[in-house]
């Protein structure tokens, strides 16, 4: 750590999706690229954002429905950290250049909301202000999803194409949720260990491969417990939603304005459920389906990515970037098979294993803008060069060129598992699912099944989020992309129905999420809703 931010190489602001785990490939099914970011603010005090009390002081995890006393925090002073923009060459939308100031702060929140005067943890918060913002609309809290995605990275990354008209009404607020990045981060594995985990390709159809995959998960899970001890169960979705309300108070807002992507829709829905009277507007883009969970939700994602690859394959004959690939799917499957037999060279000491090849392919399906990169990677891989697929896999796992990782895998596993019922899935379910997925999802299923172990052996103190409702003053705006591979469109329909006071805006697009992804129709409706609370006409579908 140096200065007000941690310097990292080629970190991307991402929109992410919760899944069962983050071990190997699919383990995560998390990531979608948006704007590049090369720096992340640290707490204004320049001290690590860690717990202010030892883990032994953490309260006993509640065994029944907990009681939550009211919690308030004073308005927070932000220290100027505008230099982050120039020191990290962060791209800024032309209309915003020279007009932005940045403030950094650390907000203290209770580790355990049932005992708000007990152990505190710190959240790092970033405020971005446009000098032409003369309105009193308030702040706009943003979250990229995950869980484990950095809201600091997202806020900075959005600046390259965020509408100046919206910035004239809001201060943008980014934060790393508890356990993530600069906010009391969870650390479960070293960089070397993550390299090994991400490259592992055990054959789940054999006893030895099944046992190897299970042991990988157990070692990772046990290391998370070693890192946070008795505090670990409190890193969950419901507590993060409660943290969001304290951030609202800390920035001095009477009501919440929220923009959440992917798993960020689950956070936004949880907030609306817990604090309905505090919601002014909320945009939930790339909705996690509240009516599915566990293995079925994971299977829906895999189906979505297989279909996304078919869309890429249909594009190839029309594009000079990949029209040399006669059969893109056959090429991808042959590369994975070759890498399983003998990992491909990459021009470095690292090799492209089968699971890394699958991860690289999956990464490029989050956005149509990455299809040319996927084409180039498949063409290279066909010739035995795994370097381009490895580079895509590294984007997905957030591995920098110096070999360091963010803690996305650590935080995602901890938060996802703390939200999941204990004891699931069973060994029998995993065996049956692995066999089924290998056949039904040939590009991704074999390696995705490895991650079914991740929460099975996790610590037992869990808090499963309730199904959301939205008795909010203004209707919540849910956005669904008809061809979203990571959060299938049905999830947007189900979230809209489940929340009740919500409206669905659809987009006939491709890739993960919709806002700021190339549709002026979507963008205009969202901007108008954020500024004026005006919803699109009912049943609106924006064209490609």
For the annotated catalytic residues, the residue numbers are 262, 484, 512
Give me the sign of the Cα torsion angle 210, 211, 213, 214: positive
The DSSP output letter for 142 is E
Distance CA 223, CA 339 (A): 29
Say if strands 502-510 and 33-36 run parallel, antiparallel, or are unpaired: unpaired
Backbone conformation region of residue 147, classed left if phi is above 0, alpha if psi is from -120 to 50, else beta: beta
- Is the separation of the CB atoms in 30 and 362 below 8 Å? no
Q: Could you tell me how far CA 422 lies from the centroid of its own chain?
A: 23
- What's the per-residue H, E or C state across 168-233? CCEEEEEECCCCCCCCCCCCCCCHHHHHHHHHCCCCCCCHHHHHHHHHHHHHHHHHHHHHHHHHHH
What is the SS3 assignment for 39?
strand
Burial status of residue 408 (CB atoms within 10 A of its CB: 0-12, 13-18, 19 or more): buried
What is the SS3 assignment for 395?
helix
Quote the radius of gyration of the chain (alpha carbons, Å): 22
Q: Could you tell me how far CA 537 lies from the centroid of its own chain?
A: 29
How many Cβ atoms are within 10 Å of 192's Cβ, its own excluded?
Answer: 9
Tokens of 169: 């009404």
Q: What is the dihedral of CA 147, 152, 158, 164, to 10 degrees?
A: 130
- Is the separation of the CB atoms in 367 and 33 below 8 Å? yes
DSSP one-letter string for 301-370: HHHHHHHHHHHHHHHGGG-TTTTT-S-HHHHHHHHHHHHHHSPBB-SSS--B-HHHHHHHHHHTTS-GGG
Q: Could you tell me how far CA 219 lies from the centroid of its own chain?
A: 23
Which residues lie across from 101 on neighbouring strands? 129
Closest listed residue to residue 220, CA positions, set 197, 191, 192, 195: 197
Tokens of 243: 């943290």
Distance CA 100, CA 131 (A): 6
Tokens of 194: 């993550």
How many Cβ atoms are within 10 Å of 147's Cβ, its own excluded?
Answer: 33
């Amino acid at each position: 750590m140096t200065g007000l931010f941690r310097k990292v190489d080629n970190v991307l602001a991402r929109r992410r999706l919760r899944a069962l785990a983050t071990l190997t490939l699919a383990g995560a099914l998390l990531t979608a690229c948006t704007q590049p970011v090369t720096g992340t603010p640290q707490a204004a005090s320049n001290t690590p954002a860690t717990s202010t009390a030892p883990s032994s002081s953490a309260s006993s995890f509640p065994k029944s429905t907990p009681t939550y006393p009211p919690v308030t925090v004073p308005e927070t002073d932000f220290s100027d950290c505008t230099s982050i923009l120039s020191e990290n060459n962060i791209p800024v939308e032309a209309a915003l250049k020279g007009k932005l100031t940045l403030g950094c702060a650390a907000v203290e929140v209770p580790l355990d909301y049932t005992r708000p005067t007990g152990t505190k943890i710190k959240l790092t918060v970033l405020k971005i202000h446009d000098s032409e913002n003369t309105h009193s609309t308030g702040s706009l809290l943003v979250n990229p999803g995950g869980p484990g995605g950095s809201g600091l990275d997202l806020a900075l990354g959005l600046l390259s194409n965020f509408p100046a008209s919206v910035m004239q009404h809001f201060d943008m607020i980014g934060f790393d949720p508890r356990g993530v990045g600069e906010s009391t981060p969870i650390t479960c594995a070293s960089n070397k260990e993550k390299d090994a985990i991400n490259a592992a390709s055990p054959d789940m159809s054999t006893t030895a491969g099944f046992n190897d995959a299970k042991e990988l998960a157990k070692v990772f899970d046990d290391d998370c417990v070693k890192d946070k001890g008795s505090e670990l169960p409190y890193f969950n979705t419901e507590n993060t939603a409660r943290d969001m309300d304290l951030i609202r108070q800390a920035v001095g807002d009477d009501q919440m304005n929220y923009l959440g992507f992917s798993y960020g829709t689950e956070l936004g829905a949880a907030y609306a459920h817990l604090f309905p009277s505090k919601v002014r507007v909320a945009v939930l883009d790339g909705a996690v389906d509240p009516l599915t969970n566990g293995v079925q939700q994971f299977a829906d994602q895999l189906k979505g990515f297989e279909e996304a690859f078919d869309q890429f394959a249909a594009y190839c004959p029309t594009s000079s970037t990949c029209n040399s690939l006669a059969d893109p799917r056959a090429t991808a499957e042959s590369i994975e098979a070759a890498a399983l037999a003998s990992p491909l060279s990459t021009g470095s000491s690292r090799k492209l294993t089968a699971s890394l090849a699958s991860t690289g392919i999956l990464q490029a399906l989050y956005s149509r803008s990455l299809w040319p990169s996927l084409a180039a990677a498949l063409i290279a891989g066909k010739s035995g060069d795994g370097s381009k697929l490895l580079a895509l896999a590294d984007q997905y796992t957030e591995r920098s060129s110096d070999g360091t990782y963010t803690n996305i895998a650590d935080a995602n596993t901890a938060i996802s598992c703390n939200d999941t019922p204990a004891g699931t899935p069973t060994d029998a379910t995993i065996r049956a699912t692995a066999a089924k997925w290998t056949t039904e999802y040939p590009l991704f299923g074999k390696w995705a099944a490895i991650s079914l172990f991740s929460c099975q052996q996790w610590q037992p103190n869990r808090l499963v989020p309730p199904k959301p409702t939205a008795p909010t003053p203004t209707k919540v705006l849910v956005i669904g992309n008809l061809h979203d591979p990571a959060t299938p469109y049905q999830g947007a329909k189900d979230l809209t129905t489940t929340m009740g006071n919500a409206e669905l805006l659809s987009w006939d697009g491709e890739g993960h999420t919709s806002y700021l992804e190339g549709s002026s129709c979507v963008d205009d409706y969202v901007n108008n809703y954020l500024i004026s609370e005006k919803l699109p006409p009912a049943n609106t579908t924006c064209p490609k």
